[in-house]
Amino acid sequence: MHALKSVDPEIYNLLLQESCYQLESIRLIPSENYCSKAVLEASGSIFTNKYSEGYPGRRYYEGQRYIDQLETLVCQRACALFGAEHANVQPYSGSPANLAVYLALLKPGDAIMGLSLPHGGHLTHGWDVSVTGRFWRAVRYTVDRESGRIDYDAVRDLAKKEKPQIIVAGATAYPRTLDFKAFGEIAREVGAYFLADIAHIAGLIVGGVHPSPIPYADVVTTTTHKTLRGPRGAMIMCRAALAEQIDRAVFPGLQGGPHNHTTAAIGVALKEASTPAFRDYARQVVINAKVLAEELLARGFNLVSGGTDNHLILVDLSNKSVTGKQAAKALDRAGIVCNYNTVPYDPRKPFNPSGIRLGSPAVTSRGMGPSEMRQIASWIDEVISHIDDEARIAKVAHEVREMCRQFPAPGILLEDFEDSRPSTQSQINR
Ligand SMILES: *Cc1c(COP(=O)(O)O)cnc(C)c1O
């Protein structure tokens, strides 16, 4: 980091502080992870210097001899890993990837049927503040009030009534396995395209612990930076028959030049994700989430749907006399980072809802296991039960830092920095 330090000490210092923060906190945001040093090296590489609008062999710029090989290789890896017929690795992130799919397959005013945002769906599945809810008609299915799970008969009934042009399955806050086969059948019954948005669970799918949407889905979108543990980016995979439409929607429909440094880093992440070690990782993510869920249940916490099948847990705090926001802020002061979240049928407003969302992907990447999950559940309970006791929260923060010291974080080496501590150490964990 010598160059960065001498050119821009302010950014350098923020990077150092953020590195310490990521090392010394327990990161439970289920969409976050630690990518490897190899991914970071590819992501921070001179591939960023190249413009390459178009696709391999069909570029609008000369000088693509290595970039074409790079993108071709990464697309091949994506197809092989997911069993897809076609892959586009150019979308800048998950939201533009979904937008590209709608641009490819829908006309303005067509209907997008997705899981309602407060029930765990994503903004880009037709929520009204998103462009996807403005250019297209949104049809929203919900989870069942009692079970907290998707009721596939209700989804079918709604689809038959509303006749959407596309049905989206995928979520940001759904703790249960998605039945992609059922969604595929429903889509076929009503003549809709079926989009599986696997942003959160891509790593679980390639790790063999969540069923794959392929071959049921016409199109699959995913981010690459969540459980897949790659750089910030996205991919679209689809049936060969839709390849041309999808590619044209990404470029020139929506984007200009691809981020080649990201493409390279996605390639590295896909290679890592094809190893037995990654399968072990995915299995451990699910085990850890289950242990954390059981330990919270044992301490009187209510979990949406009663538990988890995947990497995330949605805690409904309405029986705890704290709001999601109060809990998330107090936990952050204790070095436990999560986010407040609506729970299905939440009587509170989204800016201060009843729930918090927890996930195991990042802590599992550090090698934490069931005994650490038990400890984390106990700290969460301690903080939420003593939400106004700053001394108690500071004590937990100290214990959290002690535990984190025992678990190196992939990709973060303080030796990379000349001075191993930031100048504003006291700000860490604030
Ligand atoms: C995270 C996520 C996205 C959006 O990804 P960004 O990279 O934040 O734009 C889309 N869909 C789902 C289901 C997600 O979880």
* Residue where a domain stops, chosen among 247, 273, 299: 273
Residue 365 makes CB contacts below 8 A (sequence gap 6+) with: 33, 34, 229, 281, 409, 410
Mean pLDDT of 371-382: 98
Whether the Cβ atoms of residue 173 and residue 143 lie closer than 8 Å to each other? no
Length of the chain: 430
Same domain, 121 and 69: yes
Whether the Cβ atoms of residue 173 and residue 314 lie closer than 8 Å to each other? yes
Q: How many domains does the chain have?
A: 2
| Residue 247: active-site member | no
Asked whether residue 331 is assigned to any structural domain, the reply reads: yes
Q: In sequence order, what DSSP letters do the residues of 159-219 get, joined into one string?
A: HHHH--SEEEE--SS--S---HHHHHHHHHHHT-EEEEE-TTTHHHHHTTSS---TTT-SE
Same domain, 288 and 412: yes
pTM score of the predicted model: 0.96
| Residue 179: active-site member | no
Element (H, E) at 264: helix 260-273
Asked whether residue 244 is assigned to any structural domain, the reply reads: yes
Tally of helices (H runs) and strands (E runs) in the chain:
15, 15
Asked whether residue 16 is assigned to any structural domain, the reply reads: no
* Residue where a domain stops, chosen among 226, 241, 273: 273
| Residue 226: active-site member | yes
Among protein residues, the one with the nearest Cα to ligand 1's atom 4 is 94
Q: Distance between CA 130 and CA 124 in Å, rounded?
A: 6
222 lines ligand 1 (CB under 6 A): no
Asked whether residue 33 is assigned to any structural domain, the reply reads: no
E strand segments, 111-162: 111-115, 137-141
Same domain, 254 and 292: no
Q: Is the pLDDT of residue 420 over 70?
A: no
Encode pLDDT of 221-261 as tens digits.
999 999 999 999 999 999 999 999 999 999 999 999 999 99
Same domain, 106 and 252: yes
Q: Is the pLDDT of residue 338 over 80?
A: yes
Asked whether residue 13 is assigned to any structural domain, the reply reads: no
Asked whether residue 7 is assigned to any structural domain, the reply reads: no
* Residue where a domain stops, chosen among 238, 273, 308: 273
Same domain, 154 and 265: yes
Asked whether residue 150 is assigned to any structural domain, the reply reads: yes
Q: Distance between CA 47 and CA 263 in Å, rounded?
A: 9
Q: Which amino acid is located at 315 in the chain?
A: V
pLDDT band at 350 (very low <50, low <70, confident <90, very high): confident
Same domain, 317 and 173: no
Same domain, 92 and 218: yes
Same domain, 58 and 187: yes
Measured CA distances, 104 to 140, 236, 237, 239, 243 (Å): 21, 12, 13, 13, 10
Q: Is the pLDDT of residue 430 over 70?
A: no
Among protein residues, the one with the nearest Cα to ligand 1's atom 10 is 94
Measured CA distances, 262 to 42, 100, 109, 223 (Å): 7, 18, 33, 12
Backbone angles phi, psi at 316, to 5 degrees: -95, 110
For residue 200, the ligand 1 atom closest to its alpha carbon is 15
Q: Which amino acid is located at 303 in the chain?
A: L
pLDDT of residue 90: 98
Asked whether residue 25 is assigned to any structural domain, the reply reads: no
Encode pLDDT of 275-333 as tens digits.
999 999 999 999 999 999 999 999 999 999 999 999 999 999 999 989 999 999 999 99
Encode pLDDT of 32-71 as tens digits.
999 999 999 999 999 999 999 999 999 998 999 999 999 9
Whether the Cβ atoms of residue 370 and residue 286 lie closer than 8 Å to each other? no
| Residue 272: active-site member | no
Say how many Å lie between the CA of residue 398 and the centre of ligand 1. Answer: 33
Q: Is the pLDDT of residue 427 over 70?
A: no
Mean pLDDT of 372-401: 98
Same domain, 365 and 250: no
Say how many Å lie between the CA of residue 230 and the centre of ligand 1. Answer: 14
Share of the chain above pLDDT 90, in %: 94
The SS3 call for residue 323 is coil
CATH code for the domain of 404: 3.90.1150.10
pLDDT of residue 414: 85
Q: Which amino acid is located at 271 in the chain?
A: K
pLDDT band at 421 (very low <50, low <70, confident <90, very high): low
Q: Is the pLDDT of residue 419 over 80?
A: no
Structural domain that includes position 71: 40-273
CATH code for the domain of 71: 3.40.640.10
Encode pLDDT of 91-105 as tens digits.
999 999 999 999 999
Residue 49 makes CB contacts below 8 A (sequence gap 6+) with: none
pLDDT of residue 422: 55
Which pair of structure tokens corresponds to residue 302?
A: 């209510």
Among protein residues, the one with the nearest Cα to ligand 1's atom 5 is 94
Same domain, 330 and 408: yes
Among protein residues, the one with the nearest Cα to ligand 1's atom 15 is 172
Same domain, 130 and 256: yes
pLDDT band at 418 (very low <50, low <70, confident <90, very high): confident
Same domain, 253 and 304: no
Encode pLDDT of 144-184 as tens digits.
999 999 999 999 999 999 999 999 999 999 999 999 999 99
Say how many Å lie between the CA of residue 340 and the centre of ligand 1. Answer: 17
Higher pLDDT, 89 or 416: 89
Q: Which of 51, 179, 382, 416 is catalytic?
A: 51
29 lines ligand 1 (CB under 6 A): no
For residue 121, the ligand 1 atom closest to its alpha carbon is 13
| Residue 197: active-site member | yes
Burial of 87 (0-12, 13-18, 19+ CB in 10 A): buried
pLDDT of residue 369: 98
Say how many Å lie between the CA of residue 197 and the centre of ligand 1. Answer: 8
pLDDT of residue 428: 42
Whether the Cβ atoms of residue 412 and residue 25 lie closer than 8 Å to each other? no
pLDDT of residue 429: 38
Mean pLDDT of 416-422: 68
Among protein residues, the one with the nearest Cα to ligand 1's atom 6 is 94
| Residue 53: active-site member | yes
pLDDT of residue 425: 45
Q: What mean pLDDT is reported for the chain? A: 95
